[in-house]
Amino acid sequence: MRLLSIIRASLILILFAGGGFLLYGYFRSHPEDLPWTPLDLSQPVGTFTGRKLAGLNDFQTCRALLNRAGVRFTALPPRAAGSQCGYDDAVRLLPERALAIGYRPEGLATSCRVAATIALWEWHVVQPAAQRHFGRSVTAIDHLGSYNCRRIGGGGAWSEHATANAVDIAAFRLEGGRCISILSDWDGDPAEQAFLRDVRDGAGDLFATVLSPDYNAAHRDHLHFDQADRGRMGWRGCR
């Protein structure tokens, strides 16, 4: 009996050691899935990528990440508008280099961490979804802006738009000129519906808040994305 106990204990130790070795190998090659590794925009989207993006509060670090990823931008001067509105970390995206998608109107200006998130959303969500459903790329995205000194619903808490920490997306333009809009195509043909829900759901892995027509009538014509900083383990919403 003693020998059997020793053998059983040895097998358990071997299994634990083997499992630990496999986990070590996995996380060594997938640092994006670890909460303590620094954010790297060249890495695939991982388990904690969205939380790292939401917590990207250091402007200098954020700009360095954009530069290393090849995203061209200009840093905007701070803007103050009362105690609740304004920004000190905004950038204006330029339609060159790593970002193949242009934004309409041109020169989208938003917080740096939203800009970083938009880049990952384009690379890992929007373009793959467009190829999957339509066999072509997205060339432009229509937006409804970012900075807007206002409260949620006109009278609630201050919106993330009040600090340029949000962006509203209205439509996607494909190669060849086809336009897929939130207002007209959310309940359109099966491919349009699937594409719009894929880009919404994929954004939910990256942004702290994602709101769509499924949330309420106020979002019938756009997808709202923001990077509200609720802490690395704070709640996230995607609907």
Count how many Cα atoms sit within 13 Å of the Cα of residue 20 in the half-sphere of its side chain: 6
Q: CB–CB of 159/147 below 8 Å?
A: no
Express each pLDDT in 39-63 by its tens digit: 999 999 999 999 899 989 999 999 9
Structural domain spans, the chain: 51-238
Report the mean per-residue pLDDT for the chain: 88
Indicate whether 146 pLDDT > 50.
yes
Q: CB–CB of 129/198 below 8 Å?
A: yes
Indicate whether 175 pLDDT > 90.
yes
Please give the structure tokens belonging to residue 38: 């620094």
169-188 average pLDDT score: 97
